[in-house]
């Protein structure tokens, strides 16, 4: 009689056990509104405030520079432009829309430039290099026009975003929010108050953590991303708990099922 009662009780609570596991899963996966919203204090900002942020990408080794020299006398400026790939020059035609010919910056920060020879460009901003080339080329060409861009300017977005990966930027100007836009935005499981940005400057690697739930990140020097920056979005507690549940739930359910089966068999 006792075993029959135990068996009947176990059979009654078996569905409840499954419901309990489901409730635990839902509870561990909940994300609050406060964890999702960007710039939650935006209403407190002075709309008339203006912030001047310098965004002057610095040239580093392994950058690919596309340099075009022109003037009213095209024949005079022609020798300063690339005609065909050579040593230390890469021809771009990849899926990242890197097109045309460019100068690969060596590890020592130098490039081989037509007529002028070896030039040290590492550590210079694009505008500084433009002015430097104007001065040097003016010896040969009257009023030269210099156009420079970094054709392999990219940032990497990893972690809790919809489309993690490398993103190549044609205009060399991208903000943190624009990078998230290219990556399909953060998932609801992305930790918005602890965004990690890795950056390398002059051979020194630095990192900074950004809280995009507060609007003051707009004033940060990390708001504008630089060449080869890596942005990592950590998972929030809900995602961590969900992953732990998914990893262990099958084990717990199996153990519970075995125990229930043993009790039912014994009570027969």
pLDDT tens profile 169-204 = 988 889 999 999 999 999 988 899 899 999 987 778
pTM over 0.85: no
The CATH number of whichever domain residue 173 belongs to comes to: 3.10.560.10
Domain boundary among 114, 132, 150: 150
Q: Kindly state whether residues 175 and 194 are assigned to the same domain.
A: yes
Backbone angles phi, psi at 40, to 5 degrees: -70, -15
Structure tokens at 51: 């912030």
- What stretch of H or E contains 204? strand 204-210
Q: Is there a domain that residue 115 lies in?
A: yes
Q: How many CA atoms lie within 13 A of 1 on its CB side?
A: 0
Q: Is there a domain that residue 58 lies in?
A: no
- Per-residue pLDDT, averaged over 17-22, amounts to 54
Q: Is there a domain that residue 175 lies in?
A: yes
Q: Is there a domain that residue 56 lies in?
A: no
Radius of gyration of the CA atoms of the chain, in A:
29
pLDDT band at 93 (very low <50, low <70, confident <90, very high): very low
Domain encompassing residue 203: 35-51+153-235
d(CA 251, CA 240): 18
- Per-residue pLDDT, averaged over 131-138, amounts to 96
Q: Is there a domain that residue 200 lies in?
A: yes
Letter string b/e over residues 43-77, b meaning 16 or more CB atoms within 10 A of that residue's CB? eeeeeeeeeeeeeebbbbeebbbbbebebeeeeeb
Q: Kindly state whether residues 229 and 166 are assigned to the same domain.
A: yes
- Total domains present in the chain: 3
Q: Kindly state whether residues 132 and 260 are assigned to the same domain.
A: no
Q: Is there a domain that residue 59 lies in?
A: no
Q: Kindly state whether residues 146 and 75 are assigned to the same domain.
A: yes
Please determine, for residue 166, whether its predicted confidence score (pLDDT) is greater than 70: yes
* Edge-to-edge strand ranges of the sheet holding 89-93: 89-93, 99-104, 64-70, 145-150
* Mean pLDDT, rounded, of the chain: 77
Residues 6+ apart with CB under 8 A from 154: 96, 166, 167, 168, 169, 227, 228
Please determine, for residue 104, whether its predicted confidence score (pLDDT) is greater than 60: yes
Q: Kindly state whether residues 17 and 47 are assigned to the same domain.
A: no
């Amino acid at each position: 009689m006792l075993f029959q009662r135990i068996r009947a009780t176990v059979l009654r609570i078996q569905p409840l056990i499954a419901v309990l596991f489901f409730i635990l899963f839902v509870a561990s996966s909940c994300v609050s509104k406060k964890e999702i919203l960007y710039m939650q204090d935006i209403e407190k900002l002075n709309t008339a405030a203006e912030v001047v942020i310098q965004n002057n990408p610095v040239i580093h080794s392994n950058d690919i520079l596309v340099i075009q020299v022109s003037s009213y006398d095209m024949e005079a400026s022609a020798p300063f432009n690339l005609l065909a790939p050579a040593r230390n020059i890469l021809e771009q035609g990849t899926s990242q829309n890197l097109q045309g010919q460019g100068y690969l910056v060596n590890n020592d920060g130098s490039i081989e430039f037509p007529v002028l020879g070896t030039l040290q460009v590492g550590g210079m901003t694009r505008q500084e290099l433009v002015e430097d080339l104007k001065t040097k080329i003016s010896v040969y060409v009257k009023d030269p026009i210099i156009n420079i861009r970094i054709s392999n300017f990219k940032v990497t977005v990893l972690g809790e975003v919809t489309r993690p990966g490398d993103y190549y930027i044609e205009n060399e100007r991208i903000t943190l929010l624009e990078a998230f836009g290219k990556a399909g935005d953060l998932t609801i499981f992305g930790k918005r108050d602890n965004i990690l940005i890795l950056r390398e400057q002059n051979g020194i690697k630095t990192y900074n953590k950004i809280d995009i739930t507060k609007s003051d990140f707009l004033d940060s020097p990390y708001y504008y991303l630089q060449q080869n920056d890596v942005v990592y979005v950590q998972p929030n507690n809900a995602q961590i708990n969900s992953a732990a549940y998914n990893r262990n739930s099958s084990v717990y359910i199996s153990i519970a099922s075995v125990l229930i089966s043993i009790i039912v068999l014994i009570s027969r």
